[in-house]
Amino acid sequence: MAKWLKILISVFTVLLVVGVVVAMLVGYFGFISQNMQDDSERHLVEIYEQVNQSFNSFISRNWGILSSCSDYYTVLKQNNDPELNTKFKEFVLGDEENHLFGKKHDVDFEEFYFLDPDRKYYALSDNSTGHFESGDLSDMIANNQKILTRDTPIRDSKPAVDPDSPGSTEESAGQASEVIMFAIPLGTGYTYNGFSFTAVGISYTNAKLAAKLDAVAFKNSEGFSIANSYIIQPNDDGDVLLSPNVGGDVTRKYLKYMKGVLRDDPDTFARLREGVKSIKKTEANPHPHGYLSYTTKDTDGKNVTHCVIYMPIDYGDYVLISNVPQTAVSQGFLQAQTATMRVMLIIFSLIIAVLLVVLIMRIISQSRQSKKELLYREKMFDVLSNNVNDIFLMLDPATETVDYISPNIERLLGIKVKTAKENIRTMATCAVDYNIIIPNEELQSLPMGESRSWECEYMHQATGERRWYRVTIYHMNIQKMEKYVIVMSDRTLDKQLNAQLEEALNAAKSANEAKSNFLSNMSHDIRTPMNAIVGFSVLLEHNADDADAVREYTRKIMASSHHLLSLINDVLDMSKIESGKTSLNVERFSLPDLLEELNIIVMPQAKAKDQEFNIRTNGTPPDEIMGDRLRLNQILLNLLSNAVKYTPDGGKIDFTVQELEESAQFTKLRFIVKDNGIGMSEDYLKEIFQPFSRETNSVVNKIQGTGLGMAITKNLVDLMGGIIEVESEPGKGSTFTVELSFALVQEQSQDAWFSHKITRMLVADDEEEICLNIRDMMHDTGIDVSYVTDGAAAVEAAVRAHNHNSDFNVILLDWKMPGMDGVETARRIREQVGEDVPILVLTSYDWSDIEAEARAAGINAFMPKPFFTSTFFQTIKPLFNEPAEAAPEQPANDALSGKLFLVAEDNELNAEILTEMMDMEGARCEVAKNGKIAVEMFLRSEPGYYDMILMDVQMPVMNGYEATKTIRASEHPDAAEIPIVAMTANTFAEDVQTALNAGMNAHLAKPIDMEIVRKTVAQLLEKRQKGESK
Amino acid sequence: MKKSLVLLTLLVVIVAAVALVACNPNDGENLDPNAVTIMGKETDLNKPYMTEIFEHYTTVTGKKLNIIKVEDNKFEDAAVARMADPAKAPDILLHFNNADLSRFNVAENFEYLTDAEWVSDLTDSAATYCRDAAGNILGLPFWESSVSGCYYNKKLFDEYGLVAATNQNEFRNLLNQLKEVVDVPLLWPAEDCTWMPQFALDPIFADDPTLLDKLNANQIKYADIPAVKRMINWIHTADNSNWFGNAALNTGWDDMAGQLASGKAAMVFIWDTWFYTDFSGVTYTKDDFALMPIFMNTLSDGSGTYEGGNLNMMMVNKNSTKKKDALAFLNFCAQPENYNVAFKGIATVSVFKQEVSNVQSHMVTDMQASINALERPSTASIKIIGYSADDVMAAINKLLRGECSVDECIAQMDSARIARAKALGAAGF
């Protein structure tokens, strides 16, 4: 349910509860108010019925008292005796128990008057005379009525002196105040102290009499009456006979006053006036009353409700009317109402408070939950945005104010969040292509609710790293605020993958194309030698009688066969490498030997093209290292052969071996093959190591090649954990650099040198770098190396040393030095120093041509370049009366002659070729068509019958490996010693190892090279003779 | 730029100086050195009978008079300063016989006029007013005299069937009754009409002079006088009961006539002459008003009081070089043929016995007997040393604002009175 709907329901529930409670309160208070009003009226009626009754009794008592004196009046009428007058006065005014107005009667009048019909009076207390202001009194006397009226006695004269009168006072004439008069008519003939009277009366002040109207129930704590009670005439003005006691007698026209009070409520006033005027006692209703209430505002603006009760009294038309604040009438109810209201309000407040608390708690809980969720979302979003490469923004379109930007913008684009927030346009500076940035005007036209996307490349401002983003901008209305939400989705990986895929596709296409080219080339390359072989074979057959022609055709067939064989070797090699089946055969080998072999192989090729070929060392490459000599040789030979192949005649090829770093166990060597040949294009350099690739140009097309050499080289380098790099420029040549690491073998100790008393040597070479290199290489031997850079200097140094009786132990001379060459230098040294000092010549050239001359000049030995300490040591050891290790004995050309071979070969043609070739060497062969037959033939043979077994590997029934194992495991006396040589087309290193593991003694690759066969057989037979065959 | 600024500043200074000179009536006055100089409040000297007597004097004698009128609120300080400077001191100073007069060192600066011929022509009330504590006549009371009491709208009372109160209780009832029918039962212009409390204080000290003596000797304080507390209590009750309406503190002199003339207010403590000089109305005219005593509960028997007239006196500078001419001017004013010219038609109680040209207000004549019985001479403001109507009203207004209690109000009244008495150097303070 939507959050706003929940809040709406909650608010509605609260309002409903409040409404119900308010309705209950209103109903309750309406009921209470009505009851209170009814009760107020009953209460007032009850009270003022009592007041009315009391006042009526008071009136009756006054009249009764006046009437009860009739005997005295009669006396006064009959006897105008002063003494009697005095007694009467005492009887009337005395305060004794038996006096007329004493305590017995409980009256407290102000004055006793004798009245005549002419408004005149005689005041008994002070014997004063005067008249009443109003004529009403006289009229009532004349009408022989009992009198109750309000009038003002106006004194006419000073009172007659009456020393005995206790109430006489000295008041000045003219003073007058209104009094309330009770009087009764007596008739004529009555006289008192000379004053003829027809009625007697007593007077009360308003204040005294008004107290009779006070209701005890309506007195406040100070004793003041809260109610204002009047006796009024029921006329329009409501003439007041008796006004309230409180505060004095100031209201004389009650209805006039009420008209003013109710000036804003004329209807109520009209009801009051008509009610007062019309209320009468009847037989049916002997106790009528009227009641109404009205509300006015006090000066503070508060509403004040008054209750008015009125009823007729028992005299005349007078009406008792009382005005009481409702608060006084219904005080109890009000208190109850107030208490109830408070209780209800408390309950109501508690209910509301509980509801509010529940609502607030719920809102707070929801708010907290929302905040928590929001916080979590923010945290998650922050974490996500920090760990993804997508950028999120929200901005105000009108002001371009950034409301939010994910913090990873600094990591991804190098823009600080603060900077981006201050000016979002700073992001545009990161865009690589400004044209892609969508213009603001176009964004403004983006319809609400829609989005637009585009891709743009951005560059990190600090690192320059480029990233592709798919920018999607959403035009949204968020809480009535127009916003742009921008999501920059990182597509860099996609782009890279696409690029890689495209590259791979191109590579695949290229490879496919290369294979196509390869097949085409292979077709050409295979067919070419095959064509030569087939062609010359035909010619051979045709000219079999021409010995010279036969030899020539045979030589060309052999050349074509070797080319075809190398082609097949390359293809197989590449296939082997690509299938991941190539392994390294790590062994100890001599780096100088390797270089010498290379020199032997390459130098003639270079020489054939009149190229200059130099081999140098840089640093102190070790003499012996651990590694796959065969593979290293293959790598270097590939590079050097290519250099020779692609360098025009007369060019130059430099081969440098450089030691980069050396530790206790390893050395890292760099091999550099540099030529100034035709070079390669930049495009071809990118795919030079791809298999089956060859650059296509007029020069290369003329050169034979499979396009696999460099791929094989690269893969071998990779296999050996090295790197290969190439730099080339068309027409200027190429430089291949190979870096490989090799494990070191134990170096020769210094003792070896000193044991031969070699402590000093002289080196002479026109290239000082070579001199220094030799000195560095000899450093660890402890030999003191002096060098000079020309022949003359060498002679001079040798002579000087000789003259000081400190001849050099060895003198090493470069052959080709400008000026005086090595041979001449040696000759002159011998002339002046003698024959004792060994002189060696260091050269990278074939010295066979000059050997005789050199030895004649006194040169003891030759050393190939580059210089290696091990080679040097081996070279000079014989010169110090210690023969050098015997060179391997060259196999005799008749090594095979007279030997009997067991040949296991399933291919009859191969068996025939071998048999024929062995036969040419004077050897015999017995052929077995599979391994099993070979085993059987061997087991059947007499001991020593076979000199050697030549075992094909892949044969039906039993292969060569199993046959070898069987033979070795047999009990034939020759089983352990008879040499078994693998003779197979499986030519890889692992094939060799497998053969050896199976118990074979050597491995010969097909096609058979008889020179190798001869050499191998000789070695094996020699070993067998020495007992080392196993 | 700088030059312009200097010129502008100079111009402003000149304009300000001219304005100051123009605003000060004492400077630059063109006084006739041979004429008698009379100094008084601007309002007082503009009274019709005053201007009339000045013109009449010039007409009859051919002599000129120098009249220096000072703004009312600056008068006292200006008068004291002038009297202290013989070169500028007026020959005649018009001043009430009130507490402020003590600032002038009357004995040294003013001529006692007890033996003047016209003293016998003064009514007893007037003569009493003009005497100092030693009985010396300080000046000629050439002023209107009125009766201060509770003036009520009788016509409005009749409309509502109400009659005037004759005692404190009736007055209380009357106020309560009026509260139901009018906005302001008793107009109490607290803003600036400071005289009202003194009406109720008069009977306290007039009826018992010993209280006055003790108060002036600093032997007792207001706080020691129950009647004072009853009065302040009554004012507090009146305010709490809204007998003053609900805007007394914001009602002033300027509001009085309007509220009474409209019937918004029913009663006010004022003097009868005010209805002739400052009141005009359509709904209710001055003829609709009547007089009853002032009831502020200071009298224990619940009776009320009236205050007799406060008279401005022409006091002669004792040290003036034209003292003779000044005395001659006073004699001129005190002649019946002259003062009857000046007061012709003026509603005032007679100050001179032979003053017959004036008119008596019906409000006073109707209540003459009551006035005769209950009137007290103005006592509080004149006789109480250090009394200031402003101080008293300030304390009462603080009470009305609810900022102090009744006792604190009385304490503030005492404090202010004692401070002024000390400033005057009164003995005992």
Q: Which residue of B has its CA nearest to A257?
A: B160
Report the b/e string of A644-678 with b at 16+ CB within 10 A.
Answer: bbbbeeebbbbbbbbbeebeeeebebbbbbbbbbb
CATH 3.30.750.24 fits A389-490, yes or no: no
Assign A100 a pLDDT band (cuts: 50, 70, 90): low
SS percent in chain B: helix, strand, coil, step 5? 50, 15, 35
Amino acid A222: pLDDT:
67
Of B164, B172, B245, the CB nearest to A299: B245
Give the range with max mean pLDDT: A686-690, A702-706, B257-261.
B257-261
Contacts of A294 in chain B (CB under 8 A): none
A588-747 CATH: 3.30.565.10
Task: Give yes or no for a contact between A320 and A213, defined as CB atoms under 8 angstroms apart.
Answer: yes
Assign A167 a pLDDT band (cuts: 50, 70, 90): very low
Q: Which residue of B has its CA nearest to A260?
A: B181
Q: Is B369 on the interface with A (CB under 8 A)?
A: yes
Task: Give yes or no for a contact between A864 and A599, defined as CB atoms under 8 angstroms apart.
Answer: yes
Query: What confidence tens digit (pLDDT) does each residue in A298-337 have?
Result: 766 788 888 899 999 988 889 999 988 887 777 666 676 6
Q: Give the C-alpha separation, A299 to A301, whole Å.
A: 5
Contacts of B237 in chain A (CB under 8 A): none
Query: What confidence tens digit (pLDDT) does each residue in A773-816 have?
Result: 888 888 877 788 889 988 899 999 998 888 888 888 889 998 88
Q: Between chains, do B163 and A238 touch, taking CB under 8 Å as contact?
A: no
Q: How many C-alpha atoms does A683 have within 13 Å on its Cβ side?
A: 6
Q: What are the backbone angles phi and psi of residue A281, rounded to the nearest 5°?
A: -80, 135
Q: Which of A293-302, A587-596, A764-773 has the lowest average pLDDT?
A: A293-302
Q: Between chains, do B169 and A254 touch, taking CB under 8 Å as contact?
A: no
**Domain B27-145+311-363 homologous superfamily, CATH:** Periplasmic binding protein-like II (3.40.190.10)
Among B173, B188, B242, B264, most A C-beta atoms within 10 A, so best to mutate, is: B173
Q: Is B76 on the interface with A (CB under 8 A)?
A: no
- Overall average pLDDT of the A284-298 stretch: 87
Of A247, A252, A298, the CB nearest to B163: A252
B177 Cα to chain A: minimum distance (Å): 8
- Overall average pLDDT of the A140-151 stretch: 82
Contacts of B159 in chain A (CB under 8 A): 256, 260
Amino acid B14: pLDDT:
45
Amino acid B414: pLDDT:
96
Q: Which of A69-73, A105-109, A658-662, B96-100 has the lowest average pLDDT?
A: A105-109
- Overall average pLDDT of the A849-876 stretch: 81
B68 Cα to chain A: minimum distance (Å): 47
pTM value is 0.50
Contacts of B165 in chain A (CB under 8 A): 248, 250
Q: Which of A241-250, A555-564, A684-693, B110-119 has the lowest average pLDDT?
A: A241-250
Q: Report the candidate in A657, A660, A598 with the shortest Cα–Cα distance to residue A629.
A: A598
A900-1026 CATH: 3.40.50.2300
pLDDT mean across residues, chain A = 81
Q: Where are the domains of chain B?
A: 27-145+311-363, 148-307+385-424
* B305 or A407, greater pLDDT: B305
Amino acid letter for position A511 = A
Query: What confidence tens digit (pLDDT) does each residue in B194-252 have?
Result: 989 999 999 999 889 899 999 999 999 999 999 999 999 999 999 999 999 989 999 99
Contacts of B368 in chain A (CB under 8 A): none
Q: Please give the CATH topology (third level) of the domain spanning A498-578.
A: Helix Hairpins (1.10.287)
Amino acid A169: pLDDT:
40
Q: Where are the alpha helices (DSSP H) in A288-330?
A: 326-329
Q: Give the C-alpha separation, A752 to B48, whole Å.
A: 155
Whole-angstrom CA distances from A203 to A181, A208, B83 are 4, 10, 65
**β-strand B184-187 against B265-271: which pairing, if any?**
parallel
* A549 or A653, greater pLDDT: A653
Q: Between chains, do A247 and B174 touch, taking CB under 8 Å as contact?
A: yes
Q: Give the C-alpha separation, B377 to B69, whole Å.
A: 28
Say whether pLDDT at B412 is over 90: yes
Assign A65 a pLDDT band (cuts: 50, 70, 90): confident
- Can the peptide bond before residue A891 be classed as cis, meaning omega within 30 degrees of 0? no
Show Cβ contacts of residue A531 under 8 Å, excluding neighbours closer than 6 positions.
none
A217-329 CATH: 3.30.450.20
Query: What confidence tens digit (pLDDT) does each residue in B144-170 have?
Result: 888 999 999 999 999 999 999 999 988
Q: Is B174 on the interface with A (CB under 8 A)?
A: yes
Amino acid A576: pLDDT:
67
A52 Cα to chain B: minimum distance (Å): 23
Contacts of B180 in chain A (CB under 8 A): 257, 260-261, 296
Q: Give the C-alpha separation, B37 to B42, whole Å.
A: 14
* B155 or A140, greater pLDDT: B155
Show Cβ contacts of residue B114 under 8 Å, excluding neighbours closer than 6 positions.
B135, B136, B137
ipTM of the complex: 0.74
A222 Cα to chain B: minimum distance (Å): 14
- Overall average pLDDT of the A167-192 stretch: 69
Q: Give the C-alpha separation, A993 to A583, whole Å.
A: 11
Amino acid B403: pLDDT:
95
DSSP conformation class of A887: P
Q: Is A238 on the interface with B (CB under 8 A)?
A: yes
Say whether pLDDT at A36 is over 60: yes
Say whether pLDDT at B126 is over 70: yes
Contacts of B161 in chain A (CB under 8 A): 237-238, 240, 251-257
Say whether pLDDT at A218 is over 60: yes
Assign A514 a pLDDT band (cuts: 50, 70, 90): low
- Overall average pLDDT of the B292-299 stretch: 95
- Overall average pLDDT of the A230-236 stretch: 91
Assign B419 a pLDDT band (cuts: 50, 70, 90): very high
- Overall average pLDDT of the B40-66 stretch: 94
Contacts of A249 in chain B (CB under 8 A): 163, 170
- Overall average pLDDT of the A98-121 stretch: 76
Question: Percent of chain A at pLDDT above 90?
Answer: 12
* A574 or A543, greater pLDDT: A543
Please check whether the two domains, A217-329 and A588-747, share a CATH topology. no
Helix A70-78 with A82-93: angle, nearest 10 deg: 160
Concatenated DSSP letters for A381-416? HHHHHHHSS-EEEEE-TTT--EEEE-TTHHHHH---
Q: Where are the domains of chain A?
A: 68-161+175-204, 217-329, 389-490, 498-578, 588-747, 748-884, 900-1026
Judge residue A837's burial from the number of C-beta atoms within 10 Å of its C-beta, 0-12 exposed, 13-18 middle, 19 or more buried. buried
Say whether pLDDT at B370 is over 70: yes
Query: What confidence tens digit (pLDDT) does each residue in A901-943 have?
Result: 999 988 887 888 888 888 888 888 999 999 999 999 999 998 8
Look at residue B231 and give its three-state secondary structure. helix
- A residues 249-278 near B, CB within 8 Å? 249-257, 259-261, 263
Encoding tokens for residue B159?
């409309």
Q: Give the C-alpha separation, B385 to B420, whole Å.
A: 8
Q: Between chains, do B167 and A238 touch, taking CB under 8 Å as contact?
A: no
The total of other beta-carbon atoms located within 10 Å of residue A158's CB is 14
Amino acid B23: pLDDT:
36
Give the range with max mean pLDDT: A659-673, A899-913, B280-294, B368-382.
B280-294
Among A208, A241, A250, A305, most B C-beta atoms within 10 A, so best to mutate, is: A250
Assign A82 a pLDDT band (cuts: 50, 70, 90): confident
Amino acid A891: pLDDT:
52
Of B167, B170, B181, the CB nearest to A260: B181
Q: Is B171 on the interface with A (CB under 8 A)?
A: yes
Class for domain A748-884, per CATH?
Answer: alpha beta
- Overall average pLDDT of the A826-838 stretch: 87
Query: What confidence tens digit (pLDDT) does each residue in A950-988 have?
Result: 998 888 889 899 999 999 999 888 888 899 999 887 766
Amino acid A204: pLDDT:
87
Assign A101 a pLDDT band (cuts: 50, 70, 90): low
Say whether pLDDT at A650 is over 50: yes
Encoding tokens for residue A964?
């070898």
Q: Which residue of A has its CA nearest to B164?
A: A250
Handedness of CA A410, A416, A420, A426 (dihedral sign): negative
Whole-angstrom CA distances from B307 to B196, B373, B423 are 10, 12, 28
Amino acid B392: pLDDT:
95
Q: Between chains, do B161 and A253 touch, taking CB under 8 Å as contact?
A: yes
Encoding tokens for residue A582?
């190539």
A38 Cα to chain B: minimum distance (Å): 25
Amino acid B29: pLDDT:
64
The total of other beta-carbon atoms located within 10 Å of residue B46's CB is 12
- Overall average pLDDT of the A55-78 stretch: 80
A68-161+175-204 CATH: 3.30.450
Q: Which of A138-147, A268-277, A835-844 has the lowest average pLDDT?
A: A138-147
Of A249, A253, A257, the CB nearest to B170: A249
Assign B18 a pLDDT band (cuts: 50, 70, 90): very low
Amino acid A683: pLDDT:
85
Say whether pLDDT at B24 is over 60: no
Show Cβ contacts of residue A560 under 8 Å, excluding neighbours closer than 6 positions.
A528, A529, A530, A532, A533, A536
Contacts of A257 in chain B (CB under 8 A): 160-162, 177, 180-181
Q: Please give the CATH topology (third level) of the domain spanning B148-307+385-424.
A: D-Maltodextrin-Binding Protein; domain 2 (3.40.190)
